[in-house]
Amino acid sequence: MPGIYLHVPFCDTKCIYCDFYSITNHSQKEKFISALKKEIVSHSHKLSSRKFDTIFFGGGTPSLLSYSDFNSIFEALYSTYNISPESEITIESNPGTLNAEKLREFKKLPINRISLGVQSFIDSELKFLTRIHSAGEAVYSVKTAQDLGFENINVDLIFALPNQNLENWKYNLETAVGLNTQHISAYSLIFEEGTPLFNLRQCGKVNEADIELEHQMFEFTMEYLKAKGFKQYEISNYAKDGFECKHNLKYWNHEEYIAFGPSASSFIAGKRWTNVRNLAKCTELVESGKDAADFTETIDTKTSIYEHIFLGLRSKGIELNDFKSKYKFDFREKYSAPVKELIKNGFAEINNDTFRLTTKGYALCDEIASKF
């Protein structure tokens, strides 16, 4: 079944490392909500035969929206689409925007999964990342959500910060595990072009972490979380049994999803499109009855094969019989040289008719993908 993604572009502040589309001016919020609901309805004719089982509110900071905002969005979704009653429904949240009252409101809604953008449990690291919350507020958000009955909570963490050492990263992981969350996403810091962080590096005010230290942090993350009962089901994502993010699995498994809001990308029936990366323009297009997409592509066979391999290497691996059935050729025969080389050097393995990277291979995933 496909999933639904909704992009909420509002933030209190723009973090120095973030490349996602977001704005700090909230004056257009009511127009955004109105346009979002119209966009939801506008795609119904092409999706009437599908049943959906995930909904994901991303951003931006979706937790800035009010209870009434969410209520009206859910009304539009449930009155327009066939949504499974067992759906996973996620909201990304910034701990700095949460309190007990806000979390109680979430609990009244269909939301059953919370993804907290903690990033660090060390105040000095949070200050560098320009996060609006403290370490104490992050812990409070997790515990309060648990007390209110949320049983599926993710914590986002970032490693390889400038001047971060391995001990600090261990502390962040230990704190997250100690909070007894069901899911941990651990990303290395990326200097995305166009962000303030990228500019700071360009002018010599910030240096990237040592590459060897970054590898040590990544390897420690894999080993430590495995020992604590977390399964690494994607290169940056770890979950206890049964708590893998069903929505994000759709991206990695090359499944369908429809997305609404500025900059949001959809993938339906072999076509991918991305909405314009501007709230005012996106709203104007939707309100005038026009398509909000400014990029559209049809995924040809060559692109589909590459994406299948790349996404498979990042996650569960490549199921060989499934691959042959879909593309009409044998993966092991076509790519025999890199397959044999990777297995010989301990970077990959074949188990249960699935070619997948080992822990050692995960550390070099992008480089390995280029071999195919």
Q: Quote the percentage of the chain above a pLDDT of 90.
A: 92
| Res 364: pLDDT | 86
Mean pLDDT confidence for 140-151: 97
pLDDT confidence bin for 47, thresholds 50/70/90: confident
The strand pair at 271-275 and 293-298 is best described as antiparallel
Long-range contacts of 365-368 (CB under 8 A, 24+ apart): 365/235, 365/313, 365/314, 368/313, 368/338, 368/342
What value does the mean pLDDT of the chain take? 95
Q: Do residues 33 and 73 lie in contact, with contact meaning Cβ atoms separated by under 8 Å? A: yes
Convert the pLDDT of each residue in 191-248 to its tens digit.
999 999 999 999 989 999 999 999 999 999 999 999 999 999 999 999 999 999 999 9
Phi and psi angles of residue 131, each rounded to the nearest 5 degrees, phi first:
-75, 150
Q: Is the sign of the CA dihedral 56, 58, 303, 218 positive or negative?
A: negative
| Res 109: pLDDT | 97
Could you give all domains of the chain from N- to C-terminal order, each with its CATH number?
3-252 (3.20.20.70), 301-369 (1.10.10.920)
| Res 153: pLDDT | 98
Going by C-alpha positions, the residue among 152, 210, 157 that lies closest to residue 181 is: 152
Convert the pLDDT of each residue in 246-301 to its tens digit.
999 999 988 999 999 999 999 999 999 999 999 999 999 999 999 999 999 999 99
